[in-house]
Structures are given as structure tokens and as C-alpha cells.
């Protein structure tokens, strides 16, 4: 009698491969956990890893794809340079490059062993688990600098319109006798990755069967995060102006960050609820087609 086809990870060769993958990934993941997960920018890492593994198993069990090895030549051509870059990054201690190349090497190896059908069945967990690894600091700074300037200038314009003695240049804001530098932490941009990851997880769990609506909801995550971070900067400026610099940099600084993150998540839920008519329309259109 033929053995039933199940998850490719549970065969004996799969266990050997999983052990080899663990030997490759173990040291890197230890460094990622030590250096990134303890910071505000990477605090979401453990949550993404656990929920990503759960999603991976869930999708494999639901789809039950039939493993078929991928192109061996293509696998070798992709895997060799990835392992070289991984080794160099490991030796140099560049954890950002090391993490992403290790992850890419594991995906290429999975393609070579189980094929593209299996990878297509778990495409979202594979994309989602990219958030486990910290982005390069220079890339993150380059991408968030325009957002910091936008948030700073908008906050200055709004408070100036309300009659506050405020002026700004770039990310530096002068309000009354106090000067405030809108860094990534102050603007809440360190939480941007966490909010994006959790928002994507929520939209996929809720609406994976309605791909068009899921994409619409995901596109709103960044605007919601920007508005929430703008409100945070406004609150910190007002607290600093009315109660002093110590209040703005102390307990209320952390409280504002936590409150804005929770509010942004809640806004995604509310937006999803408000988008129910659109979701039903897109679902009906998909059934007709």
C-alpha cells in the first residue's frame, strides 16, 4: 500500500535535512536573538518566529503539496553564492546580512529538495518570517528619514496653527524654551516593523481567501502607522511644553509610545470592520469570475 503523502518535513530524510538546517541556522538565530530581539526595533522577532512556524505547519497541512525536487542546477547556482556571502558575513559579524542570506539559503535548499509546489503553498509564512531578521541600519535610516522629516514638519505646522511658539528645521523642533530631536524612537518608527508584521499576520489569518481585500488592508498599514506616530510626536511636544522636559522624556514618553502602538493596531481592526462592504463586494466579484 502506498504511503500517504503528508508534510514533506516529517519524512526521515526531512528530519536529517531539518537537523542540518538547524546546525546552519542555530548560531545565526542566537546572535539575532541576542543583538536584535532585545531592542525596540526587533522586539517583535520572537512573536514573528513562533507565529511564522505555526503558519508554516498550518499551510502545509491544509495544502498537502506533493514534493517534487526542483532544478538541481538552479539550486546550486543560487545556493553557492549565498553560502559564500553567509560565511563572509558570519566571519565579519554583520548580523543583518548573515541573517537574510542564511534564510535565503534555507529557502533555496527547500526548493531543491521539495520543489516550487511546496514553496508556493507556504509563500506567505516565508515572506512573513523575513521580519524575524533586523534590517540593515543604514537602509532603515535611509527609508525612515523622509518619514521623520514629514512627521516633524507636520507637527510643527499643526501646533503653529494653534498658536504655540514652535519652529522646526528638519527633525529638530524648538517649542518654547525646549528643543526636541525627532529621532526614530521619538517618532515611533522603530515600531513600524512590528506594526507591519502584526498587521500582515492579522490580515492573512482573517482574509487569506480574499487576496484582493487582503492587499487593500495591508496597503493601509503604513498610513495608519504614520498617523499614529504623528499623534505621538504631538503629544510629546505638548507634554514637554506644558510640563517640562523631564515629563516629556520620562514615563509619559514610554506611555505615549505604548498607547500609539495599541491605537494603531486597533485602527487596523476598525478599518477591517468598516471595510466589510468592500470585502463582500470583492468576494462576490471573485466568485463570479
The residues, ordered by sequence, that sit 6+ positions from 257 with a Cβ below 8 Å of its Cβ are: 185, 188, 191, 232
Q: CA-to-CA distance for 199 and 268, rounded, in angstroms?
A: 7
**Catalytic residue selected from 186, 280, 281, 287:** 186
**Catalytic residue selected from 3, 12, 68, 232:** 232
C-alpha cell at 11: 519524512
Q: What is the Cα 276 distance to its own chain's centre?
A: 25
Active site residue 232: yes
Nearest alpha-carbon partner for 11 in 120, 118, 121, 106: 118
Cα-Cα-Cα-Cα torsion 92, 97, 103, 109, nearest 10 degrees, comes to -70
Active site residue 61: no
Q: Using an 8 Å Cβ cutoff, are 188 and 218 in contact?
A: no
Query: Which residues are part of the catalytic machinery?
Result: 186, 232
Amino acid at each position: 500500500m502506498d504511503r500517504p503523502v503528508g508534510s514533506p518535513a516529517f519524512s526521515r530524510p526531512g528530519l536529517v535535512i531539518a537537523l542540518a538546517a538547524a546546525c546552519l541556522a542555530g548560531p545565526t538565530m542566537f546572535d539575532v536573538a541576542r543583538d536584535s530581539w532585545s531592542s525596540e526595533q526587533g522586539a517583535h522577532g520572537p512573536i514573528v518566529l513562533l507565529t511564522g512556524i505555526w503558519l508554516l505547519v498550518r499551510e502545509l497541512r491544509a495544502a498537502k503539496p506533493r514534493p517534487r525536487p526542483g532544478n538541481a542546477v538552479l539550486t546550486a547556482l543560487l545556493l553557492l553564492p549565498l553560502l559564500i556571502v553567509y560565511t563572509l558575513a558570519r566571519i565579519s559579524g554583520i548580523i543583518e546580512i548573515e541573517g537574510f542570506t542564511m534564510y535565503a539559503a534555507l529557502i533555496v535548499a527547500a526548493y531543491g529538495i521539495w520543489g516550487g509546489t511546496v514553496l508556493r503553498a507556504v509563500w506567505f509564512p516565508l515572506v512573513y518570517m523575513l521580519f524575524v531578521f533586523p534590517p540593515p541600519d543604514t537602509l532603515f535610516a535611509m527609508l525612515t528619514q523622509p518619514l521623520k522629516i514629514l512627521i516633524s514638519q507636520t507637527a510643527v505646522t499643526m501646533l503653529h496653527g494653534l498658536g504655540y511658539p514652535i519652529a522646526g528645521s528638519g527633525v529638530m523642533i524648538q517649542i518654547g524654551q525646549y528643543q526636541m530631536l525627532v529621532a526614530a524612537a521619538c517618532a515611533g518608527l522603530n515600531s513600524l516593523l512590528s506594526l507591519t508584521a502584526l498587521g500582515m499576520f492579522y490580515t492573512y489569518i482573517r482574509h487569506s481567501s480574499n487576496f484582493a481585500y487582503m492587499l487593500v488592508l495591508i496597503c493601509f498599514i503604513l498610513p495608519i502607522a504614520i498617523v499614529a506616530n504623528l499623534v505621538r510626536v504631538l503629544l510629546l511636544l505638548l507634554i514637554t511644553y506644558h510640563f517640562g522636559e523631564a515629563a516629556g522624556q520620562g514615563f509619559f514618553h514610554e506611555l505615549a509610545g505604548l498607547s500609539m502602538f495599541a491605537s494603531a493596531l486597533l485602527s487596523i481592526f476598525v478599518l477591517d470592520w468598516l471595510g466589510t462592504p468592500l470585502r463582500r463586494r470583492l468576494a462576490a466579484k471573485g466568485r463570479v469570475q
